[in-house]
Amino acid sequence: MPTPASLPTGWIDGAAHKGAGPQHTVLNPATDDPVATLALADAGDVDIAVASARAAQHDWGTATPAERSEVLHRYAAVLRDHVDELAAEEVSHTGRSIRLATEFDLPGSIDNVDFFAGVARNLEGKASGEYSGDHTSSIRHEPAGVVGSISPWNYPLQMAIWKVIPALAAGCSIVLKPAEQTPLTTLSLARLATEAGLPDGVFNVLVGTGADVGSAISGHPGVDLVTFTGSTAVGRKVAEQAAKNGTRVQLELGGKAPFVVFDDADLDAAIHGAVAGSLINAGQDCTAATRAIVAPNLYDDFVAGVAEVMASVKVGDPTDLATDMGSLSSHAHRDKVAGMVDRAVAAGARLVTGGVRPDGPGCFYPPTLLADVAEDAEIYRDEVFGPVLAVSKFTDDDDAIRRANDTVYGLAASAWTRDLYRAQRAGREIKAGCVWINDHIPIISEMPHGGVKASGFGNDMSTYSLDEYLTIKHVMSDITAVAQKPWHRTVFSG
Ligand code: NAD
């Protein structure tokens, strides 16, 4: 067994920071071996990190867009030089397959950095002008200030990038807390940012628990904006903590994506799309296809086809390039997923494939297909966050759209059809931050990722996410040089 690495508690003011909190071991969920040990941060460390971010914010926020862009370009280049190391770290603390890390996490994250290096120089707004006739009005987009950010364990590297990079492009400084189960790549990102020339204190990281460090960040009076990615339940707690100081929040929360297969769909495409969309990252993806809602004429063939393709998915050692799907993130999480599947079967769902925990070390769980799932079943309504697809049948198009929207969540959805009008209707009527037509999962830096309903509000990625990290100021300058203005008559007439 390799000796676990000894990690710092965080990265503050451009250097490793050692906290005095309890010792924590990061495990490899594919082997159960320890990967790293570190001392967790506490609320006192949050004060130090916020002070560092505050001290650095003014100079970074007043650097020219070109200067900020140049640092981000250099950062992208440094990340490119470290892709192998970052991918190996990402695999070691998540159990995800190396193919997912090298073909999805790393290229997507680096593309995001490249994209925001350009966006940093493209702030847009309303034209300055004499809207009142007596004044020149202009709009200033200014950095929101110090950002406190909290990220989840499912895509540690990508979620950190989605939070940090638009903040940096906007001129904010940041204190980021990754999930304590998966801190390796976030610590590396901060160290590599310093290597790329990001000024000290602009990007700080602290590893700690949600109860201690997450709540201290979200309730910190020195934080100007709290951005959070994680579960809906915790997101609401974060919003409550931030509300005590009246701090602005951005929340990227859970999902329960419908996957609607209309009666004219390309069945082969829908089958392959459903397997890829439900099993990506072993289903630990907020946009994963979790509820397939299928037309009666295609139902049996869809279920049989998905079962066949799922059976071909190779589950195992995530470091092996031949592996399709690695492990889940922890034993506790696997117990949660398995419990939901067991209860679904007990409640009458048909287990078509999977559903049995393998023996041996690691938190593996097989691709699992449940058919004939009732609309009121827990597995149909609640987030599973595992490699599980629940299938049910709709009656007609109205019923399909109704079922797609019959969820508290609204993060992502897909519709499968060859009919232009059906596709347009799905895009218009399904309530979600993103509706894919004849695909499920692809994301791109230029387009936003965000939710509605219990999936949160605000956006990651795209120029829309830059807006999350800016404030808008109106500067209105009198151009008449007249002492008594016409509008003064509303206050005094003498
Ligand atoms: P989680 O909500 O349990 O934890 C997320 C983060 O919040 C972690 O860093 C955790 O330590 C911290 N936290 C826990 N309690 C806290 C508290 N009281 N105050 C402040 N912070 C606290 O989520 P998770 O299990 O790590 O991630 C899975 C969830 O994230 C799923 O619900 C998934 O849908 C969601 N997610 C959403 C998106 C999106 O873009 N909408 C992306 C990825 C994941």
Q: Could you give the 3-state DSSP secondary structure of residue 455?
A: coil
Cα–Cα distance measured from residue 370 to residue 390, given in angstroms and rounded to the nearest whole number: 5
Helix (H), strand (E) counts: the chain: 16, 24
CA-atom Rg of the chain in angstroms: 24
- Are 303 and 183 in the same domain? no
Q: Give the model confidence (pLDDT) of 336-395 as tens digits.
A: 999 999 999 999 999 999 999 999 999 999 999 999 999 999 999 999 999 999 999 999
Query: Domain for residue 479, yes or no?
Result: no
The per-residue pLDDT for 125 is: 87
Is residue 382 within 8 A of residue 232, CB to CB? The reply is no
Query: Domain for residue 14, yes or no?
Result: yes
- Are 227 and 267 in the same domain? no
- Are 241 and 261 in the same domain? no
192-219 mean pLDDT: 98
Is residue 404 within 8 A of residue 430, CB to CB? The reply is yes
* pTM of structure: 0.97
406-419 mean pLDDT: 98
The per-residue pLDDT for 449 is: 97
Percent over 70 (pLDDT), the chain? 100
- Are 315 and 359 in the same domain? yes
How far does the centroid of ligand 1 lie from the alpha carbon of residue 231, in Å? 4
Is residue 146 within 8 A of residue 164, CB to CB? The reply is no
- Are 132 and 231 in the same domain? yes
Is residue 375 within 8 A of residue 423, CB to CB? The reply is no
Query: Domain for residue 330, yes or no?
Result: yes
Residue 2 binned pLDDT confidence (cut-offs 50, 70, 90): confident
Instruction: Write the DSSP assignment of 408-440 as a string of letters.
Output: SEESEEEEE-S-HHHHHHHHHHS-SSEEEES--
- Are 309 and 170 in the same domain? no
Domain of 204, CATH number, reads: 3.40.605.10
91-107 mean pLDDT: 98
How far does the centroid of ligand 1 lie from the alpha carbon of residue 151, in Å? 6
Check if 252 is active-site. Answer: yes
- Are 276 and 146 in the same domain? no
- Are 38 and 187 in the same domain? yes
Query: Domain for residue 481, yes or no?
Result: no
Domain of 413, CATH number, reads: 3.40.309.10
What is the span of the domain harbouring residue 43?
5-252+462-474
- Are 247 and 325 in the same domain? no
- Are 236 and 270 in the same domain? no
Query: Domain for residue 452, yes or no?
Result: no
Task: Please state, as a whole number, how many other Cβ atoms lie within 10 Å of the Cβ of residue 383.
Answer: 23
Is residue 201 within 8 A of residue 56, CB to CB? The reply is yes
The tokens for 283 are 């289903």
Q: Which residue's alpha carbon is at the smallest distance from atom 42 of ligand 1?
A: 286
The per-residue pLDDT for 319 is: 98
The per-residue pLDDT for 305 is: 98
Is residue 119 scored above 70 in pLDDT?
A: yes
248-257 mean pLDDT: 98
Q: Check the CA dihedral 338-343-344-346 and report its sign.
A: positive
Cα–Cα distance measured from residue 326 to residue 252, given in angstroms and rounded to the nearest whole number: 25
How far does the centroid of ligand 1 lie from the alpha carbon of residue 168, in Å? 22
Query: Domain for residue 491, yes or no?
Result: no
- Are 238 and 177 in the same domain? yes
Q: Could you give the 3-state DSSP secondary structure of residue 372?
A: coil
Provide the domain count of the chain: 2
Q: Is the CB of 255 under 6 A from ligand 1?
A: yes
From 163, 182, 286, the mutation candidate for ligand 1 (largest count of ligand atoms within 8 A of CB) is 286
Q: Is the CB of 286 under 6 A from ligand 1?
A: yes
Residue 453 CA to its chain's centroid (Å): 16
Check if 103 is active-site. Answer: no
The per-residue pLDDT for 1 is: 67
Ligand 1 atom at minimal distance to the Cα of residue 233:
2
- Are 365 and 470 in the same domain? no
CA quadruple 92, 98, 100, 106: dihedral, nearest 10? 80
Query: Domain for residue 455, yes or no?
Result: no
Cα–Cα distance measured from residue 15 to residue 456, given in angstroms and rounded to the nearest whole number: 34
The per-residue pLDDT for 193 is: 98
Query: Domain for residue 108, yes or no?
Result: yes
How far does the centroid of ligand 1 lie from the alpha carbon of residue 44, in Å? 22
In degrees, rounded to 5, the angle at the alpha carbon of residue 72 between the alpha carbons of residues 66 and 75 is 145
Is residue 437 scored above 80 in pLDDT?
A: yes
- Please pick, among 89, 90, 172, 286, the residue that the annotation labels catalytic: 286
Task: List, in order, residues 6 or more apart from 347 with CB less than 8 Å away.
Answer: 374, 377, 378
Phi, psi dihedrals of residue 34, rounded to the nearest 5°: -70, 135
Ligand 1 atom at minimal distance to the Cα of residue 255:
34
Q: Give the model confidence (pLDDT) of 269-290 as tens digits.
A: 999 999 999 999 999 999 999 9
Task: Please state, as a whole number, how many other Cβ atoms lie within 10 Å of the Cβ of residue 427.
Answer: 15
Cα–Cα distance measured from residue 10 to residue 41, given in angstroms and rounded to the nearest whole number: 8
Q: Could you give the 3-state DSSP secondary structure of residue 50?
A: helix
